Chain A
Amino acid sequence: MIEVEGLTKRYGSTLAVDELSFSVAQGTVTGFLGPNGAGKSTTLRALLGLVRPDGGRATILGRRYRDLDRPAEQVGAVLETTDAHPGRSGRNHLRVLARAARLPVSRVDEVLELVELGEAARRRVKGYSLGMRQRLGLAAALLGDPEALVLDEPANGLDPQGIRWLRDLVRRLAAEGRAVLISSHVLSEIAQTVDDVVIIHRGRLVRQATMAEVDALAAGAARVRSPEVERLTTLVTAAGIDWSSLGDGALAVSAPPERVGEIAAANGVVLHELTAERASLEEVFLELTGGGET
């Protein structure tokens, strides 16, 4: 649904995004991860037609953003900056957008309810907290009931309850079949929300993986390779352990290697590899992005 192919963008002599490629499928939540300055915002802005790429392409529903017929109903976006006039009320801000996008004004009250902005909507944006501004941004993104969502660091400024609320909302939106791309510089912040991760560093792709694979890299996980992989997966599943296939007879298993070894030995399964993976999510992330440096 969202395709980025060989995207390149430079600002003066700085290469912000360097031949980046990845994709986001319908109905999935993809985390877009990288340290500050990795090129996440530039990539998202290129995807949204706000920045002109120097090379490659970024498309949504097979088209460049500029060529979408009804962008508000196809893509909803929340970017880092606040984008409402401080002197206008939140509700009027949304009314303006509904007008421009030819959406019924009734949508304004629907999305206000959805983001739980409530009575604050009639006050001027000037007096909003950071969290309220984020909610207003989300309301603007959801106004057209879009098929895809692009969120740039949406958890910034939200308190723990707000983050939990956002997590539930995003999961619900994805369950309705939408594609969600959500950026963050903290893996643990979005680990519970996302299905897949795209990790970038210095404008380049480090890894696109499922969250299960990343989890397997983290603490209490093991990587195991066996010529009898079908038997092994049956046994592991029977033991109530999550796993995901890494291909080529390899599995990422969310259990310590001792446990996997015992299961294999008890059932006479031949193992060709059994590796402990004991890093925390943040360590995995740091290692992956640090790896891009060398």
Chain B
Amino acid sequence: MSALVAAELVKLRTTRAWMGYLAAAVLLTGLGAAGRLGSAQRIELGTQAFQRNLLSHSLVSGLLALVVGVVIVTVEWRHGTITRTFLVTPRRERVLLAKAAVAALAGAILALVSVAVVLAVAVPWLAADGATLRVLGLAPVVGRVVLAAALWGLLGAALGAVVQSQAVGLVLAILGVLIVEPLLGALLVLLGLDRAADFLPARALEALESTGDAGISPAGGAAVGLAYAVIVGALGCVRVLRRDLT
């Protein structure tokens, strides 16, 4: 298993795609942080609540991790490399597990990069405004942001295994997070099913990054996110095992 994870890491390193992921993480989180800092009231800047929010920019690094997870699996079908991969490792479920692990790791690394970018923007900004960063209070938030991104990556790999087509996977991932889930959430709230809406994947993973005073607890959010990844992943595994490579 460790050999397969190592092989997947070499795959990730030896094309130029990772540069694109890093660039996206830096650009999106950097701009997002600048936007929030710029639009904040001066008085807010020093508060822990604001600083937490600044770091838990969940949707950006989450969506990015989801996309990377989808690509890590579907790129093999897109370029036909899956044939050679399965010739070397005919136990397909092992390949998928290794990919899931690498997708989670990639998500976590991108989240760490995002946090670093936010800090790089926020520290001088806050200093210029005479506010200080409450580092100690923020450490657990960083941990949760990283865990959430790892779960997003896992979910992406699971989705990729289900659809196998890169185009379909990416469209589903992006539309799902940006349009379908918010609409579904709003609909559930409208119907008075707020509790049910909390169990939607993006909401659950957002809860993981939150303080836990609204909706489900962070631990509950992580559990729900993991449950989605496991269920979708199991479906993906069955589909990949059954698929003929012609």
The answer to whether A50 and B83 touch across the interface, beta carbons within 8 angstroms, is: yes
A86: chain B residues at CB < 8 Å are 79
**B79 nearest in chain A by CB position:** A85
- Does A68 have its Cβ within 8 Å of any Cβ on chain B? yes
Interface positions of A from 1 to 54, Cβ below 8 Å from B: 11, 41-42, 45, 48-52
Beta-carbon contacts under 8 Å, B70-89 to A: 75, 79-81, 83-89
Known: A52-B242, A95-B14, A96-B14. Contact between A71 and B87, CB under 8 A?
Answer: yes
**Alpha-carbon distance between A260 and B73 when the two chains are bound, in angstroms:** 65
Q: Once bound together, how far apart are the Cα atoms of A42 and B7, in whole Å?
A: 28
* Contact residues on A (Cβ < 8 Å of other chain), bracket: 35 or more
Contact B15 A66 (CB under 8 A): no
User: With contacts defined as CB atoms under 8 Å apart, how many contacts are there between chain A and chain B in the complex?
Assistant: 82
Tell whether, in the assembled complex, residue B14 and residue A100 are in contact, meaning their CB atoms are under 8 Å apart: no
Query: For A49, what are the chain B residues with a Cβ–Cβ distance below 8 Å?
Result: 86, 90
On whether the beta carbons of A71 and B83 are closer than 8 Å, the reply is no
B3 pairs with A89, CB closer than 8 A: no
Do residues B245 and A83 form an inter-chain contact, with CB atoms below 8 A?
no
Asked if residues A97 and B88 are in contact (CB atoms below 8 Å), the reply is yes
Instruction: For the complex formed, measure the closest distance between the CB of B81 and the CB atoms of chain A, giving whole angstroms.
Output: 5
A97–B84 Cα gap in the complex (Å)?
A: 8
> Cβ of A100 and Cβ of B242 under 8 Å apart?
no
Give every chain B residue within 8 A of A77 (Cβ-Cβ): 87
> Would A96 and B87 count as touching, CB distance under 8 A?
no
Closest to A41 in B: B246
Known: A72-B88, A83-B84. A100 touches B4 (CB 8 A): yes
Q: If the complex has contacts A45-B246, A87-B15, A100-B4, are A82 and B87 also in contact, measured as CB distance less than 8 A?
A: no
Task: Provide the bound-state CA to CA distance between A42 and B242, in Å.
Answer: 16
Q: Is the Cβ of A81 less than 8 Å from the Cβ of B90?
A: no
- Bound state CA distance, A41 and B11, in angstroms? 28
Report which residue of A82, A95, A99 has the largest number of chain B beta carbons within 10 angstroms of its beta carbon.
A99
Which of B15, B75, B87, B245 meets A51, CB within 8 Å?
A: B245
Q: Indicate if B213 sits at the interface (CB-CB under 8 A).
A: no
Q: How far is the CA of A52 from the CA of B241 in the complex (A)?
A: 10
Is residue B17 within 8 Å, beta carbon to beta carbon, of the partner chain?
yes
Q: Check: A285 CB closer than 8 A to any chain B CB.
A: no
Complex: how many Å from CA A209 to CA B4? 42
Residues of B within 8 Å of A85, CB to CB, are 11, 15, 75, 79, 81
The interface of chain A, by Cβ under 8 A from chain B, is 11, 41-42, 45, 48-52, 65-66, 68, 71-72, 77, 79, 81-89, 92-93, 95-97, 99-102, 140
Could you give 11 example pairs across A and B, Cβ below 8 Å? A50-B87, A52-B242, A83-B83, A85-B15, A85-B75, A88-B14, A96-B10, A96-B11, A99-B7, A99-B10, A101-B88
